[in-house]
Chains A and B, each alone.
Chain A
Amino acid sequence: MMEFSAVDLARFQFAFTVSFHIIFPSFTIGLASFLMVLEGLWLTSGRDVYLRLFKYWMKIFAVAFGMGVVSGIVMTYQFGTNWSVFSDKTGPVLGPLMGYEVLSAFFLEAGFLGIMLFGLTRVGPRLHFAATCMVAFGTALSGFWILSVNSWMQTPAGFSINEVGQFVPENWFEIVFNPSFPYRFVHMMLAAYLTTAFVVGAVGAWHLLKDRSSDAARVMFSMAMWMAALVTPLQIVAGDMHGLNTLEHQPAKIAAMEGHFEGEEGAPLILFGVPDMAAGETRYQVAIPKLGSLILTHSLDGRVPGLNDFPPEDRPNATIVFFSFRVMVGIGFAMLGIGLLSLYLRARGRLYDTPLFHKLALAMGPTGFIAVLAGWITTEVGRQPFTVYGLLRTADSISPVDAPAVATSLLVFIVVYFIVFGIGTFYLLRSMAAPPDAGDGPHAGEPTRAAGVTPAFAYRDKTTPNPAE
């Protein structure tokens, strides 16, 4: 049987829990902004369809947000339980950034979430809209801080090292706005918006396939396709710039992503292949000459790095990074295709009348999540074998905890997460399958809170304020 060390197990546990966690924020960041836009449109236009859509997506948001909160609390403590040496050394620099995330973002979201979910009749539409804006702002702000933290681990700046080996702050501006942060932040926020847009688009497509006349389905599908058409090109540009930034600061990661073992001038773009770390080459290459240099250096003869430029103990695993990167980029271009197709169909007036396109959009629904996970695997595995790039090795970051303890907690995590988030995903999908035109939202046919105690119509009468009032 294979023996796993405590480091392997702790890495797998972190990867597992953070992968589950990242799914929810990347959805709720986009969804919170979508809800803000919907409520704003309802308040300004007075059109009932926007309120119906708002309520419909708010229920889905509540479930996704709840799962994001509980999986996020785990992350706060996991730094200490499994990575205590990392925590001790990076606490003075990264801790305050996370402190700001809690103080400025988490409390904002949590404090106004209750008003957003339950308070429409109690505070009136205008204050309620303000609460929705606060939740949306809070989700984006939390992304700002946590990406600053992650970026600092990739491209550390603005620090010195004290006598006990801790990273200590010298310049907070350089720490927060470290070299890779602006690129990563833009790239991730756009990814969150696209992820949400494709989920909304798939739900709209599903309901258009069932009932082409549904105005709620039309509105959400149209809004999602505008996002796909406008944001995907921006994301591809942002991704390219992020890649150039990585080339400057983490060339080994780029070499792994590209599958280049030998650094060379006028390097090809390897479309497909199987990087073999042991042999030091990428087998079965399908490559386009010179294009690698053109993309990375914007010149046909520019030099791009190869993994062999770096000592073996400093190389990330190219087999993983090479494929995860291609999955992400492939999905990005598929999204672009959907966006362009939607523009064409819209111009022809056929956006709501092309079932084949709706089926395509439905199939694209979960791809945002896959792209986000693939992108994270690319950047995180590409950072290895370091936690703080070039300065603190992953193997030196671990807690003095025995492998059996890590293995036990890992097993419980796997069981608990698959049960809890599996059921949560089932509820989400069921809510999304319910038609958006049923007045009170997706649960017309299923029990609502406290069903059987108060007739649902009593609630509906109170909570559908007329904006003209």
Chain B
Amino acid sequence: MDLDLPLIWALLIAAAVFLYVVLDGFDLGLGILFPTARSATERDVMMNSVAPVWDGNETWLVLGGGGLYAVFPLAYAILMPALYAPIFAMLFGLVFRGVVFEFRFKSSEQRRWIWDIAFFLGSLTAALAQGIILGAIVQGIAVEGRAYAGGWLDWLTPFSLMTGVAVVIGYALLGATWLVWKCEGPMQDHFRGLALTLMFAMLAMIGIVSLWTPALDPAIAARWFEMPQILYTAPVPLMVLGLAVVLFRSLNGTRDALPFLASLALFLVTFAGLGISLYPNIVPPTVTIWEAAAPDSSLAFLLAGAAVLIPMILAYSAYAYWIFRGKVRPGEGYH
């Protein structure tokens, strides 16, 4: 049996990264929205709405990094030095953000504001760095032989800063719609209003990215604007518009879960669009997934385990969400 193992793994890693983006995306979004909370009670509710699940959410990032090392070691070895500064910025942000979940409730109330600020800045830094990393990969990485050949500030361009801002806005939208789902009363109204503003900002950023990315590389432009490829890619912008309508109407109505689910779908469609632009490169514009892949024996060994373990992980992660389903009320959640 001849399986295209690098392709299977590229899809699996992409799925892991996508799960990370949306799951930790709404966690980080809560941190970005922390200053918009109107009271300490609202901040407590925000944290408690994700406290039982954030650790599992972040594990998808470990799978993304560890998986890249395992199945595309060449891509890992090129990308990490190329993205040195934003990777470390992301890690430092995640360190601060992560410990706040425990530290905030251990500190005295007079000093809690320090952790509130750490949670906000840590989340913001991590989100911005992730967006910059995305932009830096899309715009292309200088490679020579089997190593990164650029300087250590190559990642810093107007395009990557723009994608950084776009990801911050997108995460904030996920966070706000998550709170619409998990809260009630005035707090829910507050974040419903914020989500609406963020939705328009997010659509504007999607528009900018969609026009700017093809301008970077004629090959990407051909995929989106020329016949016959456009027949395959046209559904992507159409779906974005459709989802925008669903999101807009659900935010103006009384639906609780739909805004979050529509935002997730919006992320999925834009993520797919990104995949269309980059395929089959893993380090654009030169290294393809097949060139970067480890030997088939490595890919097959890990795939055997992944085939059994990933469905189990999805099952018990869903179970954890199910246990903590329903609205989060003030005062719940501390252990």
Q: How far is the CA of A378 from the CA of B70 in the complex (A)?
A: 28
Task: Given A62-B335, A450-B333, check contact A427 B106 (CB 8 Å).
Answer: yes
Tell me, rounded to whole Å, the shortest Cβ–Cβ distance linking A112 to chain B.
7
Cross-chain contact A98 with B70 (CB below 8 angstroms): yes
Cross-chain contact B101 with A447 (CB below 8 angstroms): no
Task: Out of B68, B102, B297, B332, name the residue touching A62 (CB < 8 Å).
Answer: B102
Cross-chain contact B59 with A100 (CB below 8 angstroms): no
Does A418 have its Cβ within 8 Å of any Cβ on chain B? no
Cross-chain contact A400 with B148 (CB below 8 angstroms): yes
Does A423 have its Cβ within 8 Å of any Cβ on chain B? yes
Cross-chain contact B109 with A447 (CB below 8 angstroms): yes
Q: How far is the CA of A67 from the CA of B146 in the complex (A)?
A: 35
Cross-chain contact B330 with A69 (CB below 8 angstroms): no
Tell me, rounded to whole Å, the shortest Cβ–Cβ distance linking B20 to chain A.
11
Cross-chain contact A69 with B44 (CB below 8 angstroms): no
Does A271 have its Cβ within 8 Å of any Cβ on chain B? no
Task: Given A427-B103, A448-B105, check contact A84 B78 (CB 8 Å).
Answer: yes
Q: How far is the CA of A115 from the CA of B101 in the complex (A)?
A: 15
For residues 235 through 281 of chain B, which have their beta carbon under 8 Å from a beta carbon of chain A?
A: none
Write the B288-300 contact mask toward A (1 if CB under 8 angstroms, else 0): 0000001101100
Does B229 have its Cβ within 8 Å of any Cβ on chain A? no
Looking at B74, B88, B96, the one whose CB has the most chain A CB atoms below 10 A away is B88
Interface residue tally on A, bucketed by range: 35 or more
Write the A393-408 contact mask toward B (1 if CB under 8 angstroms, else 0): 0000001111001000
| B297: chain A residues within 8 A (beta carbon) | 92, 168-170
Does A288 have its Cβ within 8 Å of any Cβ on chain B? no
Task: Given A62-B335, A88-B146, check contact A103 B313 (CB 8 Å).
Answer: yes
Does A465 have its Cβ within 8 Å of any Cβ on chain B? no
Does B310 have its Cβ within 8 Å of any Cβ on chain A? yes
Cross-chain contact A118 with B333 (CB below 8 angstroms): yes
Does A101 have its Cβ within 8 Å of any Cβ on chain B? yes
Q: How far is the CA of A409 from the CA of B66 in the complex (A)?
A: 21
Q: How far is the CA of A383 from the CA of B106 in the complex (A)?
A: 41
Interface residue tally on B, bucketed by range: 35 or more
Looking at A63, A87, A123, A401, the one whose CB has the most chain B CB atoms below 10 A away is A87
Does A119 have its Cβ within 8 Å of any Cβ on chain B? yes
Cross-chain contact B331 with A99 (CB below 8 angstroms): no
| A118: chain B residues within 8 A (beta carbon) | 51-52, 324, 333, 335
Write the B201-243 contact mask toward A (1 if CB under 8 angstroms, else 0): 0000000000000000000000000000000000000000000
B90: nearest chain-A partner, CB-CB: A77
Cross-chain contact B70 with A95 (CB below 8 angstroms): yes
Cross-chain contact A420 with B41 (CB below 8 angstroms): no
Looking at A73, A164, A409, A452, the one whose CB has the most chain B CB atoms below 10 A away is A73
Tell me, rounded to whole Å, the shortest Cβ–Cβ distance linking A16 to chain B.
14
Cross-chain contact B59 with A77 (CB below 8 angstroms): no
Does A110 have its Cβ within 8 Å of any Cβ on chain B? yes
Does B8 have its Cβ within 8 Å of any Cβ on chain A? no
Does B166 have its Cβ within 8 Å of any Cβ on chain A? no
Does B99 have its Cβ within 8 Å of any Cβ on chain A? yes
Cross-chain contact B63 with A114 (CB below 8 angstroms): no
Q: How far is the CA of A362 from the CA of B107 in the complex (A)?
A: 26
Task: Given A77-B91, A81-B87, A107-B313, check contact A69 B81 (CB 8 Å).
Answer: no
Does B69 have its Cβ within 8 Å of any Cβ on chain A? yes
For residues 408 through 462 of chain A, which have their beta carbon under 8 Å from a beta carbon of chain B?
A: 409, 412, 416, 420, 423-424, 427, 430-431, 443, 446-454, 458-459
Task: Given A103-B309, A111-B320, check contact A63 B106 (CB 8 Å).
Answer: yes
Does B147 have its Cβ within 8 Å of any Cβ on chain A? yes
B145: nearest chain-A partner, CB-CB: A164
B310: nearest chain-A partner, CB-CB: A103
For residues 207 through 241 of chain A, which have their beta carbon under 8 Å from a beta carbon of chain B?
A: none
7 further contact pairs, Cβ within 8 A, besides A107-B309, A420-B96: A80-B76, A166-B73, A168-B298, A169-B298, A420-B99, A424-B99, A447-B108
Q: List 12 A-B contacts (CB under 8 A).
A: A66-B99, A80-B68, A81-B81, A91-B72, A91-B76, A92-B297, A102-B59, A103-B306, A110-B56, A412-B88, A447-B105, A450-B333
